Amino acid sequence: MKRSLKAVSATVVATLVLLLTGIAWYGVSSPPAQPVPLPAHLVDATSMEGERLLAGASAKTDHGQLLPYFVVQSRRAFCGVATASMVVNAALHPQPPLRQSSFFGTDISGLQTNVAVTLRGMTLEQLAQLLALRGLQVQTVHATKSSVEDFRRVAAATLSEPQQLLVVNYDRRRLGQEGVGHISPVGAYHAESDRLLIMDVAAYKYPQTWVKLPDLWSAMNTIDTDSGQTRGFLLIRAD
C-alpha cells in the first residue's frame, strides 16, 4: 500500500511539474505567426481601403511618430509591454531605444513584474504606472469616467499633436476578434468615416486595423476582471 501511495504521489508531482513547465514555456515563448481573418466591419490598414483612410485621415501625427518604433509583442501577454516600448521610444527617443527584453530592468522587483506580466498581462493602471516611471506624463481615463463624445474629441485632438499619444485598452470580443483584453496604441483618426487606426501590436495575428470609434468605445466600456474597473484609454505626453 505504501509503495502504491508513493507511486501515485510521484506521478502527481511529475504531472504538476510538466504542467507548470508547459505553462511557463507557453508564457515566455514568442507567439507564432497565425493570421486571423478580420470581421467584415473592420478594415485592414494594408488594404486599398485602409490606405485610402490613412491618406484622408484628419488626424494622423501619431502614426508618423509611432511607425518607426512599431514592434510585435514578443510574448502572448506582452501587448502592454510592446505598446509601452513604442510609446517611450516615440516620445522620449532614448538611446539605445527601449526594448521589450529590457523593459523591466534586472533588479528583483523588475524580474517579479516581468513574471507577473508574462503570466497575466497588465491592467490600464499598471501600464500607466510603468510609463510614468519612464518619465512620461500619463492621464488614465476609464470608460465610466468619460463618454463616446468626449473620447472622440480627445482622440482627434491628441492624434493631431506631436509628443501626445493615445493608448487604448479594450475587449477584443466586442470587435468580433479572438481573445479578451488587449492594449495597443492608436495612430490616426478619419473623421468622415469616424474610424480610428489601432496599431495592433499582436501583428502575428491581426494587422493594424481601422475601427469605428463607437465600436472601440463599446469595447473599452467593459470590465477588466483583474482590476474590477472598466477598461479605457491613456493620454500620454513627454514631460
**C-beta separation of 164 from 185 below 8 A:** no
φ, ψ of residue 29 to 5 degrees: the values are -75, 150
Whether 190 sits among the annotated catalytic residues: the reply is no
Catalytic one of 182, 190, 215, 224: 182
Residues found in the chain? 239
Q: Is 231 exposed, middle or buried (0-12, 13-18, 19+ CB in 10 A)?
A: buried
Report how far residue 237's alpha carbon sits from residue 156's, in angstroms, rounded to the nearest whole number. 15
φ, ψ of residue 162 to 5 degrees: the values are -70, 150
Whether 63 sits among the annotated catalytic residues: the reply is no
Mark out the alpha helices in the chain (DSSP H runs): 2-28, 48-55, 61-66, 79-92, 108-120, 124-133, 148-158, 213-220
Whether 79 sits among the annotated catalytic residues: the reply is yes
Catalytic one of 62, 63, 79, 190: 79
Q: Is 119 exposed, middle or buried (0-12, 13-18, 19+ CB in 10 A)?
A: middle
Catalytic one of 171, 200, 215, 224: 200
**C-beta separation of 121 from 77 below 8 A:** yes
What residues act catalytically?
Answer: 79, 182, 200
